[in-house]
Amino acid sequence: MDLPPVGLGTMGIEDEAVVRTAIDCGYRHLDTAQIYDNESTVGAGIAAADTDRADLTVATKLWIDALEATAVRPATEASLDRLGLDAVDLLYVHRPRGDYDPETTLPAVEAVREAGLTAHVGLSNFDPDQLVDAREFLDKIAAHQVEFHPLFWRESLFTDAQKHDYPLVAYAPLAGGRVFEEPTILNIAAQHETTPAAVSIAWVTSYENVVTIPKASSRSHLEANLAAADLELTDAEIARIEAIEREEELFPE
């Protein structure tokens, strides 16, 4: 998939006006999920915006209680009903847990794609071995959404995305705000006369095949996150951030 460097992560967004504002600011990739309980909000924001639906990439995710083979299609249709859309552009398996079984779940998701309810099938929070298994049952992994920020990222997942040429969609690029206190990030931000948020987003998007979906609510933060992808870090700065001691992930299984 050809995804823009910065999209909108909507977890926790409960106001459709935020989604509409994001679209007005230039966001073209909108990411939600069944477990976020805000698909209706995202759909209302899309409907209220002046941008054509065809210009947007809308993604949602099947939660772990919707992954039994017979549940996949009705769960997808329920998401579409809440979104007010005939189809999404990207449908993820949110986590390989609960009712997930690659031999039954993934063919059911492929059937949903073939029926035209989604254009692409993605995965989220898979480990390398699970990606190998998934390839046996998917026509193509269109994207893999994972936690990826200066304080936590898994090289094995990054390598898989590069090897198989699909976008890695980085969520939580600001590490839940922890990057605002990281000395290396603060130092680089000062050198560029910008914010730690901008440095973190610029670092994530500096890698080929990696895009990100930070959450923001105010117009100023929405605009700043979009602009951050244009910040050019030096190779030395990228290496300094790579060398930060990694911490525990924010969203373990």
- Each residue's pLDDT tens digit, 157-212: 999 999 999 999 999 999 999 999 999 999 999 999 999 999 999 999 999 999 99
Instruction: Report DSSP state, residue 154.
Output: -
- Has residue 223 been placed in a domain? no
Instruction: Report DSSP state, residue 229.
Output: T
Q: Band of the pLDDT at 48, cuts 50, 70, 90?
A: very high
Give pLDDT tens digits for 75-129: 999 999 999 999 999 999 999 999 999 999 999 999 999 999 999 999 999 999 9
Amino acid at 111: A
**Domain of residue 151, residue span:** 8-175+210-218
- Has residue 235 been placed in a domain? no
Give pLDDT tens digits for 225-253: 999 999 999 999 999 999 998 877 788 76
pLDDT for res 22: 98
pLDDT for res 252: 78
Of all residues in the chain, what percent carry a pLDDT higher than 90? 96
- Has residue 130 been placed in a domain? yes
pLDDT for res 118: 98
- Has residue 183 been placed in a domain? no
Q: Which two tokens stand for residue 120?
A: 């692409």
Phi then psi dihedrals of residue 212, to 5 deg? -140, 160
- Has residue 182 been placed in a domain? no
- Has residue 204 been placed in a domain? no
Instruction: Report DSSP state, residue 216.
Output: -
Give pLDDT tens digits for 57-77: 999 999 999 999 999 999 999
- Has residue 239 been placed in a domain? no
Q: What is the CATH number of the domain that holds 113?
A: 3.20.20.100
Query: Whole-number mean pLDDT of the chain?
Result: 97
In the three-class reduction of DSSP (H, G, I as helix; E, B as strand; rest coil), residue 106 is classed as helix
| Strand locations in the chain (E) | 8-9, 29-31, 57-62, 88-93, 118-124, 144-147, 168-171, 210-212
Catalytic amino acids? Answer: 36
- Has residue 227 been placed in a domain? no
Instruction: Report the domain count for the chain.
Output: 1
Full-model pTM: 0.96
Find tokens 């990054």 and name the residue.
158
